[in-house]
Amino acid sequence: MSIDKGSAYTTNLPTPPAAPTSAVPLWARPRTIRIATTIVLSASAIVLLLFPLSPSRSAQNTVIIALVFAIGAVGLNIVTGYTGYLSLSQFAFVGIGAYTVAILARAWPDVSPFAWVPIGGLLAAAMACILGLVTYRSRGPSFVIITIAFLFLVQFIAIEWDELTNGTAGITMPLPDWPREWGNWPFHLALVVLLGLSLLMSWWIRRTKFGLGLIAIREDEGKAGTVGVTAPVYKLLAFGASALFVGMAGGVYAYYLGFVDPVNMFSILFSVQIVLSVILGGRGTLFGPVLGAFLIEPLNTFANNVSFGVIQGGGNLRLVMFGSLLLLLVVLLPEGIVPSLKALVERARAKGRVGLSGARLAPLSSSTTPAVTTERAPAHPGPARALLEVRGLSKSFGGNHAVDDCTFTVPEGSITALIGPNGSGKTTVFNLVSGTLLADRGEILLDGERVDRVAPWGRAHRGVGRTFQITRLFREMTVLENIVTPLRSFSIPRLGVPAVSGAEASRAMELLDFVGLAAYRDVRAGSLSYGQQKLIELAQVLMLDPKLIMLDEPAGGINPTLIERMGDLIRDLNRQGKTFLLVEHNMPFVLGLCDPIRVLAKGHVIAEGDPDRIQKDPAVIDAYLGDDYLLERKPAPAAGLVTEGSTR
């Protein structure tokens, strides 16, 4: 599977039959790509490692600066490429590392500045975590503005704190004490090692549960919370990891320059250059940011030394060049170089090959039914125990009371329906129960425990799983990655577990077999049909092994065959002990499947009972079903069958 932003490695899984390669061009075949990639990476590594042998001091200087920017870009890729947050403060961590090493070197002049480099990295990571805490609830433009403000704030502190930083006068570093013949080798090799370590960390992150959670946050942070991804912790760790080696690189860079000052060490133009490196090479890829940095820094050097007519070399030409480059990237390579090359290869491989999108679903059978650990409670005389209790729930948006003193229960082991006219508050109730919205008033109890103030990931860990009215899969992930993303619990050691492997991967394949879509495991989720996405989202929820499964319009927008499949799956899972709460407008589907039924109107429950009672209730007929329903009503068909004229 691909090592880039769409997937992680899988192990111990059966591999589907490979497509015939006879129709694939030689250059696009996997073996050719592997050989070419190995040759290019090996040659690049050798040239980079031995570059100080170059007689050109100017070229050596350009490569050293490019190494600093490459380390910065690899770090930024964790926040921007994996997590989806665009930061313009990345060069601030270079400055923090540089000042840390400079201050410590001045205080202990007999100790090599290289000894303080790790401390510079740790302090930069700590400051990045503080930035992560400050920006906890920010996203989009507001997040970008805060990162810019952080950059200027750190620069302001460096200017004003004269006793520590020497203000605008800066700090002079001690001269290197190695033989003159060594030249720039120590600086160069130190930065090469840091680049290798940062790439290794990025590679490791993408192949772990930590990286899979970051990709989920990038794709849909709200949805990630409902499947158990503890977003604040993931983001905090991502910020720290993104700055660790960048701070160390800043310390080496300060020693190389021999001088640090607040203007150059906290330049927003350098932060923009790092961002451009990530965008040019390809966000979310491993080597893309490095490629971008080694393309942009020579352009920067060129812009500083060349003039064109009235445009003088230096700042003005650099702004024109980088601005033009950004426009070209948006128009010609919006995904960056590496993803564009990958897409080109995929198109060549797919040409003339029959796709899976129209394939028939695998039939249901007892052999494909996954093991469900939650067993149905033993039958007792009298009413079933309430698994979910909603008491006096209210939620307003301005003057609109979407949910108004809503009270109902979901009996354990039942398939409970929540129906009502459009605008009655059904989806809002779902959002309140799952935690994507917080209630103004009221209580929500799951299995006797209050959860109305628990975060969405906490509710997922306690046993609440939900789907959405409009499917919200992680579109750039593969189907298999979507299934293994949910987490039943959170622990720091678990973040280092391989993303897709072992018993969890086998369980995911069982669930894909259960919904009849095992053949799609390596397909990008966003390429599936709407009905297939509905089934994948159900399998994703089942991965949580929830006590309560909440389905928001499971039969909405899909064809009769898939509606029948959905009904069969729900019934099968219910027989194994799963409890369901459904919002649905397809009345034949509801009446043939659900008991009890709760009817919502104007934000509160107006009727509840079994299907026969609900069909005859005057309040329900007046608020929802209408008089025409009585005239046209026929005996309810089997669950999942859609009769002519029924709502879909």
Higher-pLDDT residue of 273 and 311 is 273
On whether both 466 and 433 belong to a single domain, the answer is yes
Contacts of 553 (CB under 8 A, 6+ apart): 469, 583, 584, 585
Higher-pLDDT residue of 136 and 221 is 221
Residue 383's pLDDT is 63
Residue 639's pLDDT is 43
- The arithmetic mean of pLDDT across residues 468-489, rounded, is 93
On whether both 93 and 43 belong to a single domain, the answer is no
- pLDDT, one tens digit per residue, over 376-394 is 334 344 467 899 999 999 9
- The arithmetic mean of pLDDT across residues 184-212, rounded, is 96
Residue 26's pLDDT is 85
Give domain status of residue 306, yes or no: no
Residue 6's pLDDT is 43
On whether both 31 and 85 belong to a single domain, the answer is no
Give domain status of residue 558, yes or no: yes
The CATH number that applies at residue 576 is 3.40.50.300
- The arithmetic mean of pLDDT across residues 302-316, rounded, is 66
Q: Which residue, 272, 299, 316, sits at the end of a domain?
A: 272
* Identity of residue 447: D
Q: Which residue, 272, 296, 314, sits at the end of a domain?
A: 272
Residue 580 has pLDDT above 90, yes or no: yes
Give domain status of residue 606, yes or no: yes
Burial 108-135 (b: 16+ CB within 10 A, else e): eeeeebbebbbbbbbbbbebbbebbeeb
Residue 370's pLDDT is 55
- The arithmetic mean of pLDDT across residues 314-339, rounded, is 79
On whether both 434 and 534 belong to a single domain, the answer is yes
Residue 177's pLDDT is 87
On whether both 140 and 226 belong to a single domain, the answer is yes
Give domain status of residue 459, yes or no: yes
Residue 367's pLDDT is 47
Q: Which residue, 13, 36, 53, sits at the end of a domain?
A: 53
- pLDDT, one tens digit per residue, over 480-496 is 999 999 999 999 999 99
On whether both 40 and 147 belong to a single domain, the answer is no
Beta bridge partners of 599: 419, 607
The three-state DSSP-derived secondary structure of 423-484 is CCCHHHHHHHHHCCCCCCEEEEEECCEECCCCCHHHHHHHCEEECCCCCCCCCCCEHHHHHH
- pLDDT, one tens digit per residue, over 260-304 is 999 999 999 899 999 999 999 999 999 999 999 999 998 888 877
Q: Which of 73-77, 247-251, 381-385, 637-641 has the lowest mean pLDDT?
A: 637-641
On whether both 79 and 151 belong to a single domain, the answer is yes
Mean pLDDT, the chain, integer: 86
On whether both 75 and 35 belong to a single domain, the answer is no
Question: What is the C-alpha to C-alpha distance for residues 176 and 628, in angstroms, rounded to an integer?
Answer: 90
On whether both 138 and 36 belong to a single domain, the answer is no
Question: What is the C-alpha to C-alpha distance for residues 287 and 284, in angstroms, rounded to an integer?
Answer: 9
Give domain status of residue 243, yes or no: yes
Residue 393's pLDDT is 94
State what percent of residues in the chain have pLDDT above 90.
64
State what percent of residues in the chain have pLDDT above 70.
86
| Residue 575 tokens, joined | 């027989």
- The arithmetic mean of pLDDT across residues 453-472, rounded, is 94
Q: Which of 43-47, 116-120, 235-239, 495-499 has the lowest mean pLDDT?
A: 495-499
Give domain status of residue 223, yes or no: yes
Give domain status of residue 284, yes or no: no
Residue 371 has pLDDT above 80, yes or no: no
Give domain status of residue 586, yes or no: yes
Residue 635 has pLDDT above 90, yes or no: no
On whether both 79 and 171 belong to a single domain, the answer is yes
Q: Residue 127's domain spans which residues?
A: 58-272
- The arithmetic mean of pLDDT across residues 231-243, rounded, is 96
On whether both 438 and 563 belong to a single domain, the answer is yes
Number of structural domains (the chain) is 3
Q: Which residue has the tokens 């060349």?
A: 306
- The arithmetic mean of pLDDT across residues 612-628, rounded, is 76
Q: How confident is the model at residue 315 (pLDDT cuts 50, 70, 90)?
A: low
Contact 554, 566 (CB under 8 A): yes
Task: Please name the residue ranges forming H helices in 516-582.
Answer: 530-542, 560-575
104 burial via Cβ count (<10 Å: 0-12, 13-18, 19+) = middle
Residue 220 has pLDDT above 70, yes or no: yes
Pairing of strands 415-419, 579-583: parallel
Burial 14-30 (b: 16+ CB within 10 A, else e): eeeeeeeeeebeeebee
Residue 480's pLDDT is 94
Question: What is the C-alpha to C-alpha distance for residues 226 and 472, in angstroms, rounded to an integer?
Answer: 11
> If phi over 0 gives left and psi between -120 and 50 gives alpha, with beta otherwise, what is residue 435?
left
Residue 11's pLDDT is 44
pTM above threshold 0.85:
yes
Euclidean distance between the first and the last CA atom of the chain, given in angstroms as a whole number? 37
Higher-pLDDT residue of 95 and 626 is 95
Contact 100, 247 (CB under 8 A): yes
- The arithmetic mean of pLDDT across residues 5-25, rounded, is 54
On whether both 257 and 396 belong to a single domain, the answer is no
